[in-house]
Chain A
């Protein structure tokens, strides 16, 4: 057993850190947020040219063949700079399931483009109401010309830039199928929406017929298994982003409170302040160890259902407490949008609730423990 990063993992971590630090400065992030469509394509090209987008994709499609732990290190570095690029949507939600389950045609159509930075992908996992990603409400009815998909998918990340969105749907045979939907299809209405983190998302209203070739893995693909695979990785990816968000927010808070003087001494020398910062640290360490544990187990094909829920519980519950503490300790600066800390708060809150906040994870975990023990 060894909890240290391997040499290769350290290389990935350092490379990712360099690129995000070099290309996602506070000024750059602010510029993209105000001037553009919320997608930093320059940074995206940098990531592609360092082959970080293909980091954990197979070598035969142009990737580097590494695993989920390495991908999570990349996401952590992105979170540290709250950098506006759809890595989670494209790589975690879109490319990983296609690499794992896609037909050769599907893999060849999309994965080389992900590695080169030419293709954005996403998946539509959120559901209105009870928000149970495992019970999709979009319906898929098999007909003469393919599958007729009908329904609504809220808050799909980067859908407006995506070449394909993976849409899980309930088939007329009761099983789940995951379908590769083109948002430009005339039968798909893409409504751009604003979100808390200011990252581009869109609601999809779907009423279209897609060819049977657009079903992930073709006719024999096991949609139930695919959806579990997608959800577990989506959750762990969020945990990695959240870890980056929180650890950078704490560092900035430590620096800010040590630099600001009141009553003739740095704020952080007051225990009322330093202990809140220490509390934030104590909440972030569990996020780190639970995320790495879940990512490592998934990467090695070990049973991971409990570990994933534990990680997302800490990312949600611990994460929201951390960003609240950091926001608070910045005093009035926290609400000034010229000052960067508010973005960490907004990202932290969005990561908390995406695909279920803490209590939702606990409810599912409770069922599992009662059933499986441990």
Chain B
């Protein structure tokens, strides 16, 4: 066990910081930007993410942990963590490539054909933003119930159906898609994993305006959309296992991320509202501080297990659930510190409603990437060895489970 930077890691940190100093501006840790809300703001943010990704690419810092043969730097998970810690001190736009880099890339590296891996370079360069077409109105926590149909027609698959809760679909050039290819097989055994060009005819993206004021998510309607057979990832009808690679990376991504706020920000806010002598506020801030420390240390464990070549299963679920609760508790604390001003909203509120927006945004964290309850099931089954909850539809043909009032 060694929790400090080794000499190599310290040298890497210094090199990263030096490069960042030259290529970006430091940000004030007690201030942060409100999330891009309007369509125009979101477009600007997406473009800023692309530009920063290009700067990283040209500087040799993109794809830190990607193997060199895929155009990455071939670094360790620790180096990626160190770089993220340092980058977080600078005012740069990130986030638009979370799906591409965090979920699609590891999946294609593990399961993709050489041609499919050809996408990796454009992701790394910051050219292509990707989205994930997994969830449907009838397939949320029960993701294996996806009903979007894919039917073969010559050397193309024809897709019909509806997806929902798709982050960033309006900015994406490509998507990963789960669709039902064998409705007569049990639900887990008839799903195929596709790469979809979002510029194909028959795709309609409708933004969902959220409680936070942001339209981060979308509905995506697919009508007679054609996908070449070469875009199947892995085997036909074997998409569920591949989706698992993507999902456990998603959990690690959500839970492993730093919160955008800092404890200093809370302390400064308490000071400005004259609340620093309130013992309840003080204890609340101290609790938030302990939770932030826990997440940091769990991140060390996560990266240790990734370094060993393990899939971040239980650790990722634990962190994701802990992170979601931390988010909920800390944002509620922030609003309570504001006292009567806590009810204000948007431009009437402190910092244009930054904390109100973050508070309402907790549901994206608690529900996305597997709900709190799904993480509870994962922990029960995989960390504690509890028996699986009995299911009635596991071995039935998927078609027979439809509309049977399950």
Contact = CB atoms under 8 A, between A and B. Distances in A.
A and B pair up: yes
Interface of A: 1-6, 9, 69, 250-251, 254, 257-258, 265-266, 268-269, 271, 274-275, 277-279, 281-282, 285-286, 289-290, 292-293, 296-297, 300, 302, 306-307, 310, 313-314, 359, 362-363, 365-366, 369-370, 373-374
A117 B318 CA distance: 40
Given A275-B380, A363-B282, 16 more contacts: A1-B3, A2-B304, A268-B380, A268-B387, A271-B377, A271-B389, A278-B321, A278-B376, A286-B291, A286-B294, A289-B294, A313-B287, A362-B283, A366-B282, A370-B276, A374-B289
Nearest to B293: A310
For the complex of A and B, list the 9 residue pairs with the smallest distance between their C-beta atoms, beginning with the closest.
A289-B297, A274-B380, A366-B282, A278-B379, A3-B304, A278-B376, A254-B384, A286-B294, A362-B286
Contact of A282 (B81, B286, B301, B322): B322
Contacts of B6: 1
A257 B380 CA distance: 11
B3 A296 contact: yes
Interface string B3-45: 1111001000000000000000000000000000000000000
27 contacts: A1-B4, A1-B78, A1-B81, A2-B2, A250-B384, A268-B387, A274-B376, A278-B376, A278-B383, A281-B318, A281-B383, A282-B318, A282-B321, A285-B298, A289-B300, A292-B1, A296-B3, A310-B290, A313-B286, A314-B290, A363-B282, A365-B289, A366-B286, A369-B285, A369-B286, A370-B267, A373-B263
A1 to B, nearest CB: 5
A4 B380 contact: no
A194 B259 CA distance: 46
B380 A277 contact: yes
Interface string B308-320: 1000000000100
A76 B22 CA distance: 47
B386 A268 contact: yes
A374 B265 CA distance: 11
B388 interface: yes
Interface in B243-294: 263-264, 267, 276, 279, 282-283, 285-287, 289-291, 293-294
A278 B380 contact: yes
A289 B276 CA distance: 29
Given A258-B386, A362-B287, A290 B3 contact: no
Interface of B: 1-6, 9, 78, 81, 263-264, 267, 276, 279, 282-283, 285-287, 289-291, 293-294, 297-298, 300-301, 303-304, 307-308, 318, 321-322, 373, 375-377, 379-380, 383-390
Nearest to A295: B1
Contacts of A3: 1, 3, 297, 300-301, 303-304
Contact of B379 (A2, A9, A282, A374): A282
A274 B287 contact: no
Contacts, number: 150
A363 B289 contact: no
B387 A1 contact: no
A5 B1 contact: yes
A271 B373 contact: yes
Given A269-B389, A310-B289, A314-B290, A279 B376 contact: yes
Contacts of B3: 1, 3, 293, 296-297
A4 B2 CA distance: 8
Contacts of A269: 386-390
- Identify the interface centre among B322, B375, B376, B389: most chain A CB within 10 Å of its CB: B376
A281 B267 contact: no
A363 B286 CA distance: 8
A336 to B, nearest CB: 23
B373 A275 contact: yes
Given A285-B318, A369-B285, A296 B1 contact: yes
B386 A277 contact: yes
A274 B386 contact: yes
Contacts of B4: 1, 300, 302
A9 B386 contact: no
Contacts of B389: 269, 271, 274
